[in-house]
Amino acid sequence: MYLKLSIRNARRSFIDYLLYVAAMTVLLAIIEISNCIAIIGELAGFQVIFLPLLIAAIQIALVGYIDFFLLKQRAKEFASYLLLGMEKKRLTRLFLWEVLLIGFCCYIVGTTIGFSIYELWYFRDSMHGIKHCGFLYGRSMFYTLLFFGLIETVCSFRLKGRLNKLQIRELMHERNSNQGIKNIGSYKKWGVIFFLCFVCFIGCVCGIVFLPEVYIVYPVSVVAIPLLVSVFAFYKWVFGYLYAYRRMNPVRIYQKDRLYIAANMTSNFKTAATVNAVFCICFLFSGCSFVTGMLILQPEFQLFDTAMRQWMGTSQISICIVLLVIYFSILSLQQIIEVRQSSKSNQIMCCMGKSNKQIEKLVNKQIAIKLLSPIIMALLVILFCIPLLNGKMNLILPVSLNNILLELAGEFGACIVVFYICYFGIICVMSKRYMNTSAICAGLPF
């Protein structure tokens, strides 16, 4: 009986599981590609194992977020199982096995897609034979399986802890519950942490630019620490401030659409802060990879021989593309799911007198803000760092490469604008279908 109920509700929650399936498949495909790059790089004498480790860390954060999202969506169903007499341990095992089974299917599909993409790129050269293909496929699949096991273990442990804490009454209201905080002014400490860490980060960048070459190794070795901490602290501070601002109920928040947007952004502000920080780091690493790869591919860059330059440059640009795909694809899918979930809110706004164009404009504004929010901290870092580092690069590189860093930053910005416009258009077109459905359900013409 429980199995039939689980299958029936899983079918009903297909759209919700689509976020999990798509995220797992895309990220596992990317890990497979990065493992192939790492293995070939290792055979060629390079060390690029950092890439799959970075993507695995990003995936742990994103899959953890999606797991809690699925728990919210099926909380009432789980409460019903408990009322029917199912033991809490059995319910937890059932849900974890369900997630693991879906994840393993995503592993099979993702690794197949990932290796196929890499094979088209790498084995187009007739130098590489079938033996290399079989060796690479087996080894990369094994490494991806290890990463998949690590990701599922960490996320399942957190999900089990969360599910065990929830009682029947809490499960009944979990889907509509919002995150809160006891001390409304606690966001201020995150502001202080952000300021101190960002000052340390700028100090490290200034050390890289102005210190003699003998001492540059010291700021280079630690610059990532204040950067990562400042990114997380920034979003904790910003979302905490928005939550406190909404709770204080100033008169200005009731003007125009500010209350709706603020409530939408801060209903789960702790999770939103973490997810935005992860995406911001993704964006920053993507920019670094693009600039590094394009710089290495410049003919005037003579630190390595031609074969090594091509390999390193292509690998860095591949990393850039991988991280941008993660950023825009997962964010876009998340927005589509959220628009679908807010269909009832759209019905209420229709009944309150909002026109269909006003609702569409409001939803599009919300999508635009959420697609841009992870970039805010990255832009702050770029505005401070690029001018300083560009001056340093002008002193090191040949005259023909003067201001190359500014040019590459501009090219990367142009790529981001193109990606943003394309994905924003796709989300708006797909979300309009749910707004049409909302209007029809409310008995109004769209």
Structure confidence by residue, pLDDT tens digits, 290-326: 888 888 888 777 666 777 777 778 777 877 887 788 7
157, 57 Cβ separation under 8 angstroms? no
Cβ atoms within 10 A of the Cβ of 415, count?
A: 16
pLDDT digits (tens, 9 = 90+) for 85-140: 777 788 888 888 888 888 888 889 888 888 887 777 665 444 444 445 667 778 88
pLDDT of residue 72: 74
SS3 290: helix
CA distance 24 to 4: 25
Cβ atoms of 317 and 414 closer than 8 Å: no
Full DSSP string of 61-113: HHHHHHHHHHHHHTHHHHHHHHHTT--HHHHHHHHHHHHHHHHHHHHHHHHHH
Residue type (1 letter), 3: L
Q: How confident is the model over 234-248, as a mean pLDDT?
A: 83
Which range is most confident: 75-79, 178-182, 405-409? 405-409
CB 281 within 8 A of CB 381: no
Residue 171: C-alpha distances to residues 2, 68, 87, 166, 431 (Å)? 17, 12, 14, 6, 29
Report pLDDT for 1: 57
CA angle 344, 350, 353 (to 5 degrees): 145
Q: Are the CB atoms for 343 and 438 separated by under 8 Å?
A: yes
Q: How many residues does the chain have?
A: 446
The answer, yes or no, to whether residue 196 has pLDDT greater than 90, is yes
The ranges assigned to domains in the chain are 2-173, 187-441
For residues 258 and 411, give the distance between their C-alpha atoms in angstroms, rounded to a whole number: 34
Element (H, E) at 35: helix 14-43
Q: Which amino acid is at 46?
A: F
Two tokens at 352? Answer: 């309150």
pTM score, whole prediction = 0.74
H or E stretch including 251? none
Distance in angstroms (rounded) separating the CA atoms of residues 91 and 68: 15
| Torsion region of 162: left, alpha or beta (phi above 0 gives left; psi -120 to 50 gives alpha) | alpha
Q: Is 353 left (phi over 0), alpha (psi -120 to 50) or beta?
A: left
pLDDT score recorded for residue 180? 54
When pLDDT is averaged across residues 139-151 and rounded to a whole number, the result is 85
CA–CA separation, 323 and 320 (whole Å)? 5
Distance CA 99, CA 38 (A): 29
Distances (CA, A) of 186 to 208, 272, 275: 34, 17, 20
Q: Give the Cα separation of 397 and 302 in Å (integer).
A: 10
pLDDT at residue number 446:
44
Residue in the structure block whose two tokens are 């088209």: 120
Reported confidence tier of residue 66, pLDDT bands at 50, 70, 90: confident
Q: Choose between 313 and 348: higher pLDDT.
A: 313
Tokens of 204: 């490290």
| CB atoms near residue 388 (< 10 Å) | 16
